[in-house]
């Protein structure tokens, strides 16, 4: 396979399927994005929250009082439990998972799929794995995307932990106070690989990078004319 870009992540795939031109401008042309105000930018805030959660789980800070998550209270017992599991080496946080194009675990130098798992708990005795992604901001209009993310996460967890009988994946919406769960058997999880292989192959071998200009995709594009640099020649 001759790849137009060296590797992909779930977010890259979503951007590609929304507007291939955006991925080209970022990954191939490597155009800079418009500078973000760290005080107001949602992405910057999300990164800060993720770093705070990571530090708490690792025991580097005593509490989560610095969080700006609007509905954090229901999650506090879960974060405390994750902290305990991490201390006893039953959990990992913000861990990079690398897979090659054959879906084999690999080194970073050979990565085809790059995933970062906010939280993973592996219990070999009970033959159970749980993976979690922390979500800030609003979940509105993202239901399909988030289900697909859960599908990818259970699939790669099934690859990484071959002994697991079943796998849980959860999205923790810390600004909204609810959890989106998925539980599947290992066999069910592996079923999702075929679809992601087809979609990722299309991304990795793309030649035309056709744009998809419309008010929805262009509104938040970093290269669009409204909230971006205006570098995209067809943005609306």
Per-residue pLDDT, 124: 97
Pairwise pLDDT comparison (1 vs 195), residue with the higher score: 195
State the average pLDDT for the chain: 96
pTM of the model: 0.96
pLDDT in tens, 22-53: 999 999 999 999 888 888 899 999 999 999 99
State the pLDDT confidence band at 1, using cuts at 50, 70 and 90: very low
- Three-class DSSP labels, the chain: CCCCCCCECHHHHHHHHHCHHHHHHHHHCCCCCCCCCCCCCHHHHHHHHHHHHHHHHCCCCCCCCCCCCCCCHHHHHHHHHHHHHHHCCCEEEEEEEEECCCCCECCHHHCCEEEEEEEEEEECCCCEEEEEEEECCCCCCCHHHHHHHHHHHHHHHHHHCCCCCEEEEEEEECCCCEEEEEEEEHHHHHHCHHHHHHHHHHHHCCCCCCCCCCHHHHHCCCCCCCCCCCCCCCCC
Q: Quick one: what percent of the chain has pLDDT higher than 70?
A: 99
Region 6-20: what's the mean pLDDT? 97
Whole-number pLDDT of residue 34: 87
């Amino acid at each position: 396979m001759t790849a137009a870009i060296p590797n992909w992540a779930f977010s890259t795939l979503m951007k590609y399927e929304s507007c291939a031109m955006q991925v080209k401008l970022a990954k191939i042309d490597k155009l800079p994005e418009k500078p973000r105000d760290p005080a107001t930018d949602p992405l910057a805030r999300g990164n800060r929250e993720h770093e705070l959660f990571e530090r708490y789980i690792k025991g580097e800070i005593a509490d989560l009082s610095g969080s700006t998550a609007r509905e954090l209270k229901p999650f506090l017992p879960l974060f405390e439990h994750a902290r305990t599991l991490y201390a006893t080496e039953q959990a990992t946080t913000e861990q990079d998972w690398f897979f090659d194009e054959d879906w084999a675990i690999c080194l970073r130098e050979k990565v085809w799929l790059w995933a970062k798992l906010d939280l993973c708990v592996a219990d070999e005795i009970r033959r159970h794995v749980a993976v979690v992604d922390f979500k800030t901001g609003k979940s509105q209009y993202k239901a399909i995307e988030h289900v697909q993310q859960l599908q990818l996460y259970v699939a790669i967890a099934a690859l990484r932990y071959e002994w697991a009988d079943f796998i849980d994946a959860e999205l923790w919406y810390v600004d909204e106070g609810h959890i989106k769960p998925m539980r599947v058997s290992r066999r069910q999880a592996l079923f999702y690989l075929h679809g992601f292989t087809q979609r990722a192959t299309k991304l990795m071998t793309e030649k035309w990078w056709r744009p998809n200009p419309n008010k929805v995709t262009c509104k938040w594009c970093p290269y669009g004319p409204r909230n971006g640099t205006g570098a995209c020649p067809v943005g609306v």
